[in-house]
Amino acid sequence: MNLQQKLLQWFHKNQRPLPWRKHYRPYEVWISEIMLQQTQVETALPYFKRWIKQFPNIESLAESDERKVLKVWEGLGYYSRARNLHQSAKAVMDKYSGAFPENYEDILALQGIGEYTAGAIASIAFNQDKPIVDGNVLRVLSRVYAIDKPIDVSENKKIFWQLEENLIPKGRARFFNQALMELGALVCTKQNPSCKLCPIHDFCAAFKQDKVEDYPVRKNKKKMVRVEAAAVVLERNEKYFIHKRPVGKIMGGLWEFPEWKLEMTTGPAACGTLPVPRLSLRQAAGGRGLPSGVTHRHFQKLSSLAKKDLGLSIGKLEWVGKIKRNYTHHLETLHVFKTVLTGRASIRSNWPSAWITKKGFKKYPLSSAHAKIAAMI
């Protein structure tokens, strides 16, 4: 058997039983591809099931309001993708009477769909001979053919796209494209690949040269940025202050507790070690020391930013906990504080805001980090 036959045989025996593979409905394939752009399959599965339960078809998605769409997407990040899904669903209803378009150019014209996603939908949903090249495919092809061109140089990407297109067995794109991606996800992994279990290791140049982990080649390694940030839960009369991020900003349209970046460093060391004065900051449980990573300088900056952005003078803060979140080469520690406002202290915000009870958190779309804060309190 040739490489294609070996790979297809392996896929039919070993593919994961994913819900969008049951019937290959274009709508479900579309939703899954958008979710998987920056998310592992295991992470995406519960979100996919929740989404399909709320929006079982294009019509139900198009007719929903944006706040509900964002709430159902909550936790996946990259919220502009949820908005694009919503807008594209409306466009499909208007232009194609609710039937997802089959033509590649029509798919590509939908909001939020690029070359990769259009190819994925065309090949997986409609079995058209269109190539798709994601990180898994890049890794597999670079190893099989020992391609020493850096994959993070844009002009080199066309090498992989052309190669993948040439490999597709005519009329088998649906399964072949998925087989390449599945092989990269399950066998030809980034670290510790299972080469002896690989169905195509006989065709793999990197395996024969014992250089599998030398591929794929990258030109640039971006430095990780360490971030110290703080969020403040403002409570008054058993209600909590949240405000809505403007559309166009990162996580635009989502609601959150007031939050600020305090320090960003590219060095290996954590931010300073000066203690925060006990008169200004105390932990919820008391007597357990001060939150690691927070310095006197951080606290001064937090007070200054709260005054500037909210017109609020912060007094004593109760430390609630901290949340780790990583995004695009940033390693962030979000320190969560709480303060109870008394009297008639007013809060000024340039964003839409609301005071809500704990039950109200279920109605507002929050980022995954701020959903964790809501759970903390």
Active-site annotation, residues: 33
Long-range contacts of 47-53 (CB under 8 A, 24+ apart): 47/73, 47/75, 47/76, 48/19, 48/20, 49/19, 52/19, 52/28
Which runs of consecutive H residues, i.e. helices, occur in the chain? 3-14, 26-35, 41-54, 58-63, 66-73, 80-96, 104-108, 115-120, 126, 135-144, 157-167, 173-186, 205-208, 296-310, 368-376
| Parallel/antiparallel/unpaired status of strands 259-265 and 255-256 | unpaired
CA distances from 376 to 31, 120, 314, 319, 323 (A): 31, 39, 21, 11, 10
**CA separation for the pair 212, 187 (Å, rounded):** 12
> Which token pair is 354?
């609301």
For the residues of 44-55, what is the DSSP string, one character each? Answer: HHHHHHHHHHH-
Radius of gyration from C-alpha coordinates of the chain: 25
Residue with tokens 């890049």: 138
Q: Which of 79, 61, 117 is nearest to 248 (CA)?
A: 79
Q: What is the DSSP letter of 377?
A: -
User: What's the CA gap between 364 and 366, in Å, rounded?
Assistant: 6
* Contacts of 105 by beta carbon, 8 Å cutoff, 6+ apart: none
Neighbours of 320 (CB within 10 A): 19
8 A C-beta contact, residue 104 and residue 122: yes
Taking alpha carbons only, the member of 40, 135, 121, 39 closest to residue 88 is 121
Q: Cβ(165)–Cβ(230) under 8 Å?
A: no
Query: What is d(CA 302, CA 259) in angstroms, rounded to the nearest whole number?
Result: 9
